Structure 1
Amino acid sequence: MDDGPRNGVTEPAGPDARLLLLTGLGESLRRSGRYRDAETTLRNALTFAEEAFGPDSLDVGRVCNSLGVLYKYIGRFDESERSYRRALGIVEAHLDVAHPFVADINHNLGGLNHARGTHARGEPFARRALEIRQRACRPDHPQVAADKAALAAILHELGRDEEAERLLRDALAVFERELGADHYEVASALNNLAAIQYARGELDAAESAYRRVLMIKETLLGRSHPELAVALNNLAMTVWKRGRPRTAASILRRAVALLHHEVEREQPVRLACLRNLDSCTRSLEGGTVADDAPPS
C-alpha cells in the first residue's frame, strides 16, 4: 500500500514530470542569479532528456534553449550559439516554421548577437522573430512588443536610431498598459531608450531612465543580483559624463562586485565595468576621462 509522500515531498510521477522539475529548477536558479548552480541543473536536465526522450526530441530542444539563455548571461557565447542552433534545428524539424517556439529561439539568437557585438548578424534573427510573432499574436500583445524592443536594441547599435526609437516607444506603451509600470519588460525597454538618449547627449533624460531601470530591477531581482550590473554601468557612465566621477566610480565598484563570482572573466559587461572603473579612477587621480558609451 502507498503510504504517501515521504518527508512531505512527492516524487515526480514519470520522466515528463522529472524533466519539467529539473528544467524549472534550472531556470529558477538562473533568474535568481545563481548561474553556476543553474548550469549544473540544466546540464543534468539535458542528459536526462537525451536518455529519456532521444537526442532529437522537442524536450531536448527546450532544454537546449534554456541552456542557450544561461550561457549568454555567463558570457560563454559560443556555447550559447551551439545550444540555440541545436534547439532551432530540432524545433524546425518538429514544428511549423511559423510556430511561436521558432520565434522564441530566433529572438534569443538576435539577443545573443547583440550581447556579443555582432549586431548585423543578429538583425535577421530579430526581424524573423518579430514577423512570426506578428502573424501569431494581436498587434498589441506583449510578446510582439518584446520582439520590437529586442530588434530596436540591435538597430540602435547599427546607427538606425529613428526606427529603433519608434519600436521602443511602441513596445514601452504596450508593456506599461498590459503588464504594469514596474514590470521587467518596462525596465528593458527603458534601458534601450536611455541608450539612444545618452548617444544624443540627452543626459538628463538618460539618467532619469537609468535610475528608473535600476529601481525596477532591484525591486524585482534584489540588490545582489548580477543582472543589475548592466543598469549600474549605464547609470555610472551617464553620471560620469555629467561631471560626477566619484559617484560614478562608487556605482561601478558595486557593479564589478555583483559579477565577480557568477560570470566568466571575459564576459563583456564585466570587462566594460572594469575598464570604465579603471578610466574613472585614473581621471580622479588627474588623468584623462575616457568617453565610453554604456552597453545597452
Structure 2
Amino acid sequence: MRHLTWSLADSPQQQTQAQQADDSSCPDCASDIQLEDQPVAISNSATAQWRVFTDMGRELVQQGRHGEAERCFKKAVEMAREGFGEEDPHMASACNNLAEFYRLRRRYDEAEPLYKQALQILTKAYGLHDARVAFALHNLGGFHLARRQLEQAAECYEQALRLKLEVLGTGHSETSNTMFHLAQVRWQQGEGRQAIQLMQDSLEIMEAQGVGATPGCVRRRGRLAEMLLEAGRAEEAERLLRSILSYVESTQGLEHGNYAAAAENLAAALQRRGQWDEARGLMHRALEARTTHVGARHPVVAVTLRKLAELELAAAAAEEATAASTAAGATTSGGPAAGSAASSTAAAAGAGAGGGAASASASGGVALKEREVQEAVAISQEAVSIAQQAYQESLDWERRRGQPEAGGGLLGWLRPSKPQLSALRRPQRPDAAALEAAQCLQTLGQAHAAARQPAAAASDLEEALQLLADAFPHGGSKAQQEQEQEQQEVAAADEAGDGGSNGRAGEEEAGTEPGDGTSAVAVIGAREQARAARVDKARHELACGLLAELLALAQPAAGGGGAPDPQHVQRRFAQEGCSG
C-alpha cells in the first residue's frame, strides 16, 4: 500500500516544497497543511489521546497492520470530538484522516460522508476563501476520481484550484498538485487540449521551484509525454522522453528496469516519427536491460520482444511504401514525348535510366523489408515462447495455491524439475498472462502475413483466439470466478481464526487484516470487480482485433491456400459483438 500523506493538522511538521512536489506526484496522496492560528483547546486527556491515536494510526499503516490502524483513527475521531468539539477543525482533521484511510482501502461508502463532514467543518470555521478549505476540496476530488466520478472530481478540483490560485498564488507546489490531478480528470473526459495545458503548467511551476529533477517531476513528464503521443504531438513527446531517459541513466544506471521502460517509451515516440534506426537501437538496449535485470525468460521480456517485433514490422511497411513511391515517381519522370526524333530518343534514354535507378532502389527497399520481416518473425516467435511459458506457469501456480503439500510443496516449486522463469517471483495472474500470450501470437500472425505466409498467419490468430476462449470460457466471467474464490478464501481464513503476523498483512495483494474478514471481503470485492471489468474489456478488444485480422486474411485479395472461411469468421465477429 502506498504511504499516506496526512492532511490538515496531523503532519508533525510542514514539508519542504521539494518534498511536497515529490509526494504530490502520487495520485493517492492528499494535500498537507497545518492548523495555523487555530485556537487551542484546554489540554485534557482527550486532546492528548487524539494526538496519540493519530500518530499510532500512521505508524500501523506503515507496518501494514490495517485493522489496528483503523481502530486508532476511529479513536482519534472520538477523542477529537470529546476534546475539541464537533465543529472544531481538529475534528475535521480526524475525519479526513479516517476518510483517506478508507479511500485507500477502497471502502468508498464509508469515506464519502467523512470527507464531506471535514469540508463542512472547515468551511464553517474559516470561510470559503482559505487554503485549508482548498485542501479539503482537493481530497474530495481525489475520492471522486478514485470512483471514476469524473464530473464531481472535476468540480472539486476546479474549486480547489481557484482557491489555491487566490490564496497561495501561481507558484506554489500545492497549486501545481491540483493542476496535475485536474489534468488527469480532463484527459479522461476527453478534453485533451486542456489536460495537456494543465499538465504543462503544473510542470512549469515545479521547474521554477527548482525541483524539476525530482522523481515526482520526472513522473509527471512521463505522463505528459504519454498525452502528447496520444494527441499526435510526437516531436514534443520526444523531447520530454529524452530528458527522462537522461535522468534515469544518470541516477539509476543502464541495467535498471526503469531505464528499460524509459528507452521503450522514447523508441515509441521515435517510431511515430519514422526514426527507425534510433528507435531500433533503443529497443535493443531496453531488451538488454530487461534481460540483465530480470532474466531472459521473464514475462516482461516477452513484452519488450513483442514491441521490438512490432517496430520491425512498422519499419518494413515504411520501407515498402517508400520503395513504391520512388518507383512510381521515376516511372513518370520521362514526361510527355517530344516532337522530334532526337528528343524522343533522348527522352526514351532518360526514362530508361530513371527506370533502372528506380528498379535498383525498389530492389534494395524490398530486400531491406524482407530482412525486417524475417527479424519480426524470429523475434515474435521468441516472445510467444516466453509468454506461453509464463501462462502455463501461472496456471500451475493457481492449481498449487492453497495446496502446499501437492507436487513437492513449496520446495518443489522453488526447485522445479524443468526450467522455469529466470527470476524467482510470484507468477502473473492467468488472465493477464493469457492476454499477453494472445497479443504475442497476434504480432506473430502479423509478421507471417507480412512474410506472405497467410496460412501460418491464420494459424497464429486462431491459436490466440483459442487461448482466449480457454482462459475466459464465459467471456470475462473467469475474473469474476477468481474474485469469488478469493473472497471465500478470506472468509475461510477469518473463520479459522488465522492470526498471522501483522507484517504479512501489508504484503498480501488484497491487503486484508486478520480478524477483519467482513471488511476484507468488501475490499477484495470492490477491487476485483473493477479489475474484472478492465480485463474483460481488454479481452473483448483483443478478440475483435484478432477476428478483424482473420477476416482480412479470408478475403480473396489475401491469396494463398488455407484461407479461413469468411462467412464463418463474420459470424464469430458478430457473436463477439465487434463493431466495424
Query: Under TM normalisation by the shorter chain, which class is it?
Result: 0.5 to 0.7
Q: Within 1, Cα distance between the matches of 2:68 and 2:56?
A: 10
Q: Does 1:106 align with 2:137?
A: yes
Matched residue, 1:233: none
Residues 48, 132 of structure 1: alpha-carbon distance in 2 compared, 3 angstrom cutoff: same
Give RMSD over aligned pairs.
Answer: 4.4
Q: Does 1:21 align with 2:52?
A: yes
Q: Within 2, Cα distance between the matches of 1:192 and 1:62?
A: 31
Residues 67, 278 of structure 1: alpha-carbon distance in 2 compared, 3 angstrom cutoff: same
What's the CA shift for 1:68? 1.6
SS of the equivalent of 1:266 reads helix
What's the CA shift for 1:24? 3.2
Q: Does 1:45 align with 2:76?
A: yes
Paired-residue identity, %: 22
Q: Using the TM superposition, name which of 164-173 and 60-69 deviates more.
A: 164-173
What's the CA shift for 1:98? 1.1
The Cα offsets for residues 148-167 of structure 1, whole Å up to 9 and x where unpaired, read as 11111111111111111111
Q: Within 2, Cα distance between the matches of 1:145 and 1:89?
A: 25
Matched residue, 2:257: none
Q: Within 1, Cα distance between the matches of 2:212 and 2:123?
A: 36
Q: Within 2, Cα distance between the matches of 1:173 and 1:162?
A: 17
What's the CA shift for 1:63? 0.7
Q: Does 1:259 align with 2:290?
A: no
Q: Does 1:60 align with 2:319?
A: no
Residues 165, 92 of structure 1: alpha-carbon distance in 2 compared, 3 angstrom cutoff: same
Q: Within 1, Cα distance between the matches of 2:67 and 2:221?
A: 29
What's the CA shift for 1:78? 1.8
Contact 2:192/2:231, CA 8 A, preserved across alignment: no
Contact 2:47/2:79, CA 8 A, preserved across alignment: no
Q: Within 1, Cα distance between the matches of 2:535 and 2:508?
A: 14
Q: Within 2, Cα distance between the matches of 1:160 and 1:168?
A: 12
Q: What TM-score, normalized to structure 2?
A: 0.36
Q: Within 2, Cα distance between the matches of 1:174 and 1:104?
A: 18
Q: Does 1:162 align with 2:421?
A: no
Contact 1:252/1:276, CA 8 A, preserved across alignment: no
Matched residue, 1:171: 202
Contact 2:57/2:70, CA 8 A, preserved across alignment: yes
The Cα offsets for residues 128-158 of structure 1, whole Å up to 9 and x where unpaired, read as 1001111111311101100111111111111
Contact 1:114/1:153, CA 8 A, preserved across alignment: no
What's the CA shift for 1:86? 0.6
May I ask how many residue pairs the two structures share in their alignment?
250
Matched residue, 2:450: none
Greater RCO (CA < 8 Å, at least 6 residues apart): 1
The Cα offsets for residues 11-52 of structure 1, whole Å up to 9 and x where unpaired, read as x98544432232233245446665444322211111111222
Matched residue, 1:95: 126
What's the CA shift for 1:104? 0.7
Q: What TM-score, normalized to structure 1?
A: 0.66
Q: Within 1, Cα distance between the matches of 2:45 and 2:545?
A: 60
Matched residue, 1:293: none
**1:1-296 → structure 2 map (5 Å cutoff):** 15-30=46-61, 34-178=65-209, 180-181=211-212, 183=214, 185-186=216-217, 189-190=220-221, 192-193=223-224, 196=227, 199-200=230-231, 242=307, 246=387, 253=428, 259-262=509-512, 264-268=523-527, 271-273=529-531
Q: Using the TM superposition, name which of 177-186 and 131-140 deviates more.
A: 177-186
Contact 2:150/2:185, CA 8 A, preserved across alignment: yes
Q: Within 2, Cα distance between the matches of 1:145 and 1:251?
A: 38
Matched residue, 1:227: none
Q: Within 2, Cα distance between the matches of 1:197 and 1:145?
A: 19
Contact 1:26/1:41, CA 8 A, preserved across alignment: yes
Q: Within 2, Cα distance between the matches of 1:252 and 1:102?
A: 45
Q: Using the TM superposition, name which of 20-29 and 143-152 deviates more.
A: 20-29
Q: Which letter maps to 1:50?
A: R
Q: Which letter maps to 1:261?
A: G
Q: Within 2, Cα distance between the matches of 1:68 and 1:132?
A: 22
Contact 2:50/2:79, CA 8 A, preserved across alignment: yes
Matched residue, 2:266: none
Q: Within 1, Cα distance between the matches of 2:531 and 2:173?
A: 31
Q: Within 1, Cα distance between the matches of 2:139 and 2:152?
A: 13
Contact 2:96/2:118, CA 8 A, preserved across alignment: yes
The Cα offsets for residues 166-215 of structure 1, whole Å up to 9 and x where unpaired, read as 11122123335537356564366356436535755899x69x79x99xx9
The Cα offsets for residues 189-246 of structure 1, whole Å up to 9 and x where unpaired, read as 356436535755899x69x79x99xx9xxx9xxxxxxxxxxxxxxxx8xx59947784
Question: Which structure has the larger Rg over C-alpha atoms?
Answer: 2
SS of the equivalent of 2:525 reads coil
Q: Within 2, Cα distance between the matches of 1:65 and 1:41?
A: 14
Q: Which letter maps to 1:101?
A: R
Contact 2:176/2:203, CA 8 A, preserved across alignment: yes
Matched residue, 1:224: none
